[in-house]
């Protein structure tokens, strides 16, 4: 979760774009196409190591970090690839094509405070607004198409990296990094412990007691070199129990759905009464002209009796035919 002071923090949107020379070309193409791959990123950085641009001047910020921290914290990252006929740029519709493409990127932040460079090796320049950025992308697309067409190529590729970099005070950045680290550790612990304990309960056919559950979890985490407090271990045990019950419930629901399709409801005839006599589940007689459930194996039972049976077993009570 972002800290409360993010709105007041320094930030800028870095946009890098460059042509990609691909030696492998599809010679069967009848028309020229431009492929644009975009990477959208939202990241947090510490003011201990960051450099921002104020106006047209660089402003370097250096403080001493209190501990080793990650270079950045990525909060959002997506990638999109677009394919356009080249004439959609060279015609009068080029601006509309770029505007539509950027809209389809679903960028989760405003394109403000923009810095632009047309290659990773070039210096950043400050752009006035979003429209200037769109014009830069269009100019690059036209330049790429012109250059590659001279080489008789049918495929042209551009890469655009749009990253909003939010600069946080070192103390806030460390707090965010530590929180992320705790979240990742919690996910790692759950991934290591929960499936193993649940798998054991299913394979053994019994539900572990609370004491057994805590002991097994503690042993698993010790083997993984993970140390947790007793309260965290208890919380993990609760998650195991809840997950186990959800899986059981889902399994019963799935089973009921599959076996229901295999059951046929029929009205009892005189010959059925003679051959069936009693429902083998409740040992009660079957009445003439009542409705019973007939399984694929032809064995018949009271509807309520077999319905309850099939919530716990997918086998015929008499011949053990599997219904799933």
Token digits for 146? 């012109």
**DSSP string computed for 191-242:** HHHHHHHHHHHHHHTSPPPHHHHHHHHHHHHHHTT----HHHHHHHHHHHHH
DSSP H or E segment with residue 54? strand 51-54
pLDDT tens for the chain, residues 1 to 324: 455 444 445 889 999 999 886 655 556 666 788 899 999 999 999 988 755 444 444 454 444 445 577 889 999 999 999 998 888 887 678 899 999 999 999 999 999 999 999 987 889 999 999 999 999 999 999 888 887 766 667 778 899 999 999 999 999 999 999 888 888 887 877 777 777 777 777 666 667 788 888 888 888 888 777 777 777 788 888 888 877 777 666 655 554 555 566 677 787 776 666 666 777 887 787 777 777 888 888 888 888 787 777 766 677 888 878 776
| Residue 176: predicted pLDDT | 93
- Where along the chain do its domains lie? 11-46+71-168, 173-260, 264-311
| Residue 262: predicted pLDDT | 64
Are the C-beta atoms of residues 34 and 141 closer than 8 Å to each other?
Answer: yes
| Residue 280: predicted pLDDT | 81
Q: Is 310 helix (H, G, I), strand (E, B) or coil?
A: coil
| Residue 1: predicted pLDDT | 47
Are the C-beta atoms of residues 300 and 292 closer than 8 Å to each other?
Answer: yes
| Residue 175: predicted pLDDT | 92
List the Cα angle 64/175/163 in 5-degree steps.
Answer: 80
Token digits for 165? 């970099």
Instruction: Report the C-alpha gap between 244 and 188 in whole angstroms.
Output: 19
For 96, phi then psi, to 5°, come to -65, -35
Options 3.30.40.10, 3.30.1780.10, 3.40.50.800, 3.30.1280.10; CATH of 264-311? 3.30.40.10
Query: Strands 155-168 and 33-46: what pairing?
Result: parallel
Instruction: Report the C-alpha gap between 194 and 205 in whole angstroms.
Output: 16
Instruction: Report the C-alpha gap between 291 and 301 in whole angstroms.
Output: 9
| Cα 17 to the center of its chain, rounded Å | 27
Query: What is the tens place of the pLDDT at every residue in 109-126?
Result: 999 999 999 987 889 999
Q: Is 130 helix (H, G, I), strand (E, B) or coil?
A: helix
For 158, phi then psi, to 5°, come to -125, 150
Q: Is 19 helix (H, G, I), strand (E, B) or coil?
A: strand
| Residue 220: predicted pLDDT | 80
Instruction: Report the C-alpha gap between 84 and 189 in whole angstroms.
Output: 46
Which residues is 296 bridged to in the sheet? none
| Residue 324: predicted pLDDT | 64
Are the C-beta atoms of residues 59 and 53 closer than 8 Å to each other?
Answer: yes
| Residue 7: predicted pLDDT | 47
Residue from 68, 61, 76 nearest 178 by CA: 68
Are the C-beta atoms of residues 9 and 42 closer than 8 Å to each other?
Answer: no
């Amino acid at each position: 979760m972002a800290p409360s002071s993010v709105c007041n923090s320094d930030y800028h949107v870095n946009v890098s774009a460059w042509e990609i020379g691909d030696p492998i070309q599809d010679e069967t193409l009848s028309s020229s196409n431009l492929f644009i791959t975009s990477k959208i990123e939202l990241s947090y950085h510490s003011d201990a190591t960051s450099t921002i641009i104020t106006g047209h001047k660089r402003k370097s910020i250096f403080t001493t970090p209190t501990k080793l921290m990650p270079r950045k914290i990525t909060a959002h990252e997506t990638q999109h690839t677009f394919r356009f006929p080249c004439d959609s740029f060279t015609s009068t519709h080029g601006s509309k094509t770029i505007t539509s493409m950027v809209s389809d990127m679903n960028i989760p932040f405003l394109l403000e405070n923009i810095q632009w460079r047309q290659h990773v090796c070039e210096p950043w320049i400050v752009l006035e607004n979003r429209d200037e950025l769109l014009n830069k992308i269009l100019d690059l697309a036209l330049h790429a198409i012109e250059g590659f067409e001279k080489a008789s190529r049918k495929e042209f590729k551009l890469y655009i990296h749009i990253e909003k970099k939010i600069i946080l005070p070192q103390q806030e950045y460390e707090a965010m990094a530590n929180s992320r680290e705790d979240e990742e550790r919690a996910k790692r612990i759950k991934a290591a412990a929960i499936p193993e304990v649940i798998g054991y309960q299913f394979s053994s056919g019994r539900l572990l007691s609370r004491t057994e559950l805590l002991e097994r979890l503690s042993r698993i985490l010790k083997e993984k070199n993970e140390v947790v407090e007793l309260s965290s271990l208890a919380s993990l045990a609760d998650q195991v129990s809840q997950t186990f019950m959800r899986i059981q419930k889902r399994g019963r629901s799935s089973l009921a759905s599959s076996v229901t399709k295999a059951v046929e409801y029929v009205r009892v005839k005189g010959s059925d009464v003679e051959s069936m006599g009693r429902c083998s589940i409740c040992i009660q007689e079957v009445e003439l002209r009542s409705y019973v459930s007939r399984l694929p194996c032809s064995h018949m039972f009271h509807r309520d009796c077999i319905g309850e049976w099939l919530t716990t077993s997918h086998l015929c009570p008499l011949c053990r035919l599997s219904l799933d």
